[in-house]
Amino acid sequence: MSQNSRLSIAFDAGHLDLPDGNVVVLRAHSDPVLNRFDTIMAVQSFKPEYDRLEQMGISVSAEIPSDADSVIVELGRSKGENLAMISRAHQMLPDGGVLIVDGYKTDGIESILKLLRKIVPINGVFSKSHGKTIWLTKSGQTPDVMRNWASAIEPRKNRDGFFTADGMFSADHIDPASQLLIAQITKPLAGMGADLGAGWGWLSHQALSEHEKIKTMELIEAEKTAIDCAKRNIDDPRAIFEWQDVTKFSGKSRFDFVLCNPPFHQSRKADPELGRQFIRKAAEILNPKGTLYLVANKQLAYETVLDETFQSWEYMAQTSQYKTIRADRPKASRR
């Protein structure tokens, strides 16, 4: 958010009073408005945003605390996770504590407002910048229907038997693009491997299960809740788990192979540059004879950056939706 975020405008215009006491912000953004609070704890399990909050000098944690005087919930893309955060926030508060929910229309703020109005009294709503800020005062116990929302962010087995939670990529089932990539890797994997953007760990799980010559497999994932699930999904001493921003990961020229099903958005709008950054990072961390195994949505233009970063590359398979690529021998200038 910018200096003129919806929250800052709501405070400046007098629509909403700046909360007193110990303020907790769930799924906090690196918004300068946070510097206005005397006592604040930002909660963020996505490493790039966590790092930005730290750079601002904001006290930040990946874990949700048990109590607060006031709570702000910043909505994300997952409805289940959003409702769970609102539930956890309401349960943290004492009677008289203030809960603020802020989000864009694309995050589902309209439907959440309708749902909340059926359950608890709403003090006010401020509309601005294609979204809304909602606030209410806690009175009495958290209603059972709201309390039940909290389970969405608790790890549970999906239909394929792996631990996931709402808000993770492909939480309900194994991602078909990842399945396609694993099916195309016919040459035995060996040595030191890395899984960039590992999520809840399926690619690494399969690689370790199918390739006995792998010495180590490092899972690098920016979302802590996902890497925590990966630890439960993979019972193999060769697995190493890294809660890390892939673009900041340091491992120059030390891997024999990299697996990658890169994200292509951090918001609802597709951003192919994120995937290109993952490809550049793969070229940086691979040894001179190393190989990248990549899967991506077919329409994403990664071919130019592959030309820039690898000596050779080829399509392994293409479907109507996906393409799998093998890229060999990163160029020296990229290592």
CA dist 220 → 142, 230, 271 (Å) = 37, 10, 20
pLDDT, residue 308, reads 97
> What CA–CA distance (Å, rounded) separates 59 from 310?
41
Fold match flag (6-153 vs 156-334): yes
The DSSP code sequence of 167-209 is TSTT-SS--HHHHHHHHH--SPP-EEEEEET-TTSHHHHHHHH
Packing angle, helices 79-92 and 109-117, rounded to 10: 50
| CA 163 to chain centroid | 16
Please give the pLDDT value at position 264: 74
CA-to-CA distance for 16 and 31, rounded, in angstroms?
Answer: 17
Cβ-contact 193, 255 below 8 angstroms:
yes
Mean pLDDT by 10 residues, the chain (335 residues): 78 91 96 94 97 97 97 96 98 97 96 98 96 97 97 97 96 97 96 98 98 98 98 98 96 94 67 91 97 96 96 97 97 71
CATH of domain 156-334: 3.40.50.150
- State how far the Cα of 235 lies from the Cα of 208, in Å rounded to an integer: 10
Number of C-beta neighbours around residue 163 at 10 A: 20
The highest-level CATH class for domain 6-153 is: alpha beta
Please give the pLDDT value at position 1: 42
- Residue 290 and residue 255 in contact, taking contact as beta carbons nearer than 8 Å: yes
Sheet arrangement for strand 98-104: 60-61, 39-43, 22-26, 70-74, 98-104, 131-137, 124-128
Measured from the Cβ of residue 222, the count of other Cβ atoms closer than 10 Å reads 26
Query: How many other CB atoms are found less than 10 A from the CB of residue 192?
Result: 21
Rounded Cα distance between 274 and 253, Å, is 21
User: Domain residues of the chain, as ranges?
Assistant: 6-153, 156-334
